[in-house]
């Protein structure tokens, strides 16, 4: 079966930071297009999965648009899309099987979020022969589809491999002289074990920051009102539990988790996944946010050495650290000044105490401590 190309009738995505989905577009039935034509066009890129129809959705963007230059890949794809292409899972796997991909060409970036991962992606994007994908959302979808008991790991792994190959192949048809950086959303680390098994020679970077400063930054990035009703918190916990394994493992509580508890357990879940990577024998290069900001020259050199990247053009690369890496997005400094919740110093201090207490309990007693919530 060939691919199909579709006219976009309407763009329908509601939240700019929402995970990419086939419902983001209304489109026509489409016409057949030869797969060879699809593969020759570097302006067609993989956007999302459509599991109900067992197909993938790709977007075509204008020739003068370079998606890797945008802070968030999925957002740029949506905003810039002019047509869609659909391809069945079976055809996707057939194409991927024919792509000779060396995992040494791949660099994977995981993080707790709010810790400079977008900044680092932007810095790496300054290098020649490097293509950066800052949050392709097929990975977010695969986190959501993964069963935490591992029952569908084989299916998820197959899609991971095929999608990764197609993403890289489409960006640069001549792949022998390129390297790719894929930066995932924070919960993308829930796939790190599968990615490591399938791409064992990929370089792995992990960025983090301490819970106190992370909570402060996360609260600043909380667009609008902080949920505080049982209904809103229950809904949020359910949604996050589809993406964060430690949230999903909670026993049925007498009350929903508070907003700060949800944030904190999400932070802890990322660190649990990091620990599993170490246990698998794939220790990443760990980058502290404070070090990256305070001494970017030294940290960037260490990262480049770890990833076997050249040190030339460092002065140009370091200019990135004077800019807002999320400019023009909902998470830009300017936008967050307008949309962040207004907290009193007392509220902030209470939230920080709550987060640190939960982290200490978890560190001392692991999951048992989490059941002791009042």
Instruction: List pLDDT tens digits, range 16-35.
Output: 889 999 999 999 999 999 99
- Distance from C-alpha of 200 to C-alpha of 161, rounded to nearest angstrom: 12
CATH number, domain containing residue 108? 3.40.50
Show which of 77, 97, 117 is a domain's final residue.
97
Say if residue 55 is in the same domain as residue 116.
no
Say if residue 217 is in the same domain as residue 348.
yes
Say if residue 278 is in the same domain as residue 342.
yes
**Which residues, at least 6 apart from 52, have a Cβ–Cβ distance to it below 8 Å?**
22
Backbone φ, ψ for residue 180 (5° rounding): -125, 140
**Which residues, at least 6 apart from 159, have a Cβ–Cβ distance to it below 8 Å?**
49, 89, 138, 142
Q: How confident is the model at residue 161 (pLDDT cuts 50, 70, 90)?
A: very high
Find the domain containing 81 and state its range.
Answer: 1-97
Say if residue 137 is in the same domain as residue 240.
yes
Say if residue 248 is in the same domain as residue 190.
yes
Say if residue 24 is in the same domain as residue 92.
yes
Exposed, middle or buried by CB within 10 Å (0-12, 13-18, 19+), for 64?
exposed
Mean pLDDT confidence for 62-75: 94
As beta bridge partners, residue 84 has 6, 59
For residue 220, pLDDT over 50 is answered with yes
Say if residue 13 is in the same domain as residue 103.
no
Say if residue 60 is in the same domain as residue 77.
yes
Say if residue 256 is in the same domain as residue 127.
yes
Show which of 97, 125, 150 is a domain's final residue.
97
Show which of 74, 97, 120 is a domain's final residue.
97
Span of 151-155, 171-175, 248-252 with lowest mean pLDDT: 171-175
- Distance from C-alpha of 10 to C-alpha of 81, rounded to nearest angstrom: 11
More confident call, 286 vs 220: 286
**Which residues, at least 6 apart from 322, have a Cβ–Cβ distance to it below 8 Å?**
none
Q: Provide the domain count of the chain.
A: 2
Say if residue 89 is in the same domain as residue 104.
no
Say if residue 17 is in the same domain as residue 135.
no
Say if residue 183 is in the same domain as residue 310.
yes
At 11, list the tokens. 């763009």
For residue 338, pLDDT over 80 is answered with no
Radius of gyration of the chain (CA): 21
Q: How confident is the model at residue 324 (pLDDT cuts 50, 70, 90)?
A: low
Q: How confident is the model at residue 330 (pLDDT cuts 50, 70, 90)?
A: very low
Verdict on whether the full-model pTM lies above 0.75: yes
Backbone φ, ψ for residue 265 (5° rounding): -65, -35
Helix (H, G, I), strand (E, B) or coil at 57: strand
Predicted local distance difference test score (pLDDT) of residue 146: 98
């Amino acid at each position: 079966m060939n691919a199909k190309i579709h006219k976009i009738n309407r763009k329908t995505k509601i939240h700019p930071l929402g995970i990419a989905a086939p419902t983001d577009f209304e489109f026509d039935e489409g016409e057949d297009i030869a797969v060879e034509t699809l593969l020759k066009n570097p302006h067609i890129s993989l956007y999302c999965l459509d599991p109900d129809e067992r197909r993938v959705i790709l977007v075509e963007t204008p020739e003068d648009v370079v998606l890797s230059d945008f802070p968030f890949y999925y957002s740029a794809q949506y905003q810039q899309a002019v047509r869609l292409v659909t391809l069945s899972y079976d055809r996707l796997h057939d194409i991927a099987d024919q792509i000779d991909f060396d995992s040494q060409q791949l660099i994977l970036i995981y993080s707790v979020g709010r810790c400079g991962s977008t900044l680092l992606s932007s810095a790496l994007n300054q290098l020649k022969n490097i293509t950066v994908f800052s949050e392709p959302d097929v990975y977010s979808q695969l986190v959501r589809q993964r069963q935490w008991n591992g029952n569908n790991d084989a299916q998820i792994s197959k899609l991971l491999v095929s999608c990764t190959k197609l993403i890289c192949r489409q960006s640069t048809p001549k792949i022998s002289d390129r390297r790719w950086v894929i930066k995932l959303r924070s919960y993308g680390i829930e796939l790190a074990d599968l990615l490591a098994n399938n791409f064992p020679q990929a370089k792995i970077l992990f960025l983090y920051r301490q819970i106190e400063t992370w909570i402060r930054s996360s609260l600043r990035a909380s667009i609008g009102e902080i949920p505080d009703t049982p209904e809103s918190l229950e809904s949020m916990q359910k949604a996050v539990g589809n993406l964060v394994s430690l949230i999903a493992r909670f026993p049925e509580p007498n009350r929903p988790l508070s907003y700060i508890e949800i944030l904190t357990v999400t932070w802890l879940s990322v660190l649990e996944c990091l620990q599993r990577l170490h246990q698998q024998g794939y220790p990443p290069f760990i980058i502290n946010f404070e070090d990256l900001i305070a001494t970017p020259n030294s940290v960037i050199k260490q990262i480049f050495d770890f990833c076997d990247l050249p040190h030339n053009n460092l002065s140009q690369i370091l200019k990135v650290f004077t800019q807002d890496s999320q400019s023009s997005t909902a998470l830009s400094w300017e936008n967050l000044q307008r949309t962040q919740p207004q907290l009193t110093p007392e509220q902030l201090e209470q939230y920080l105490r709550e987060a640190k207490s939960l982290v200490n309990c978890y560190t001392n007693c692991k999951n048992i401590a989490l059941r002791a919530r009042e």
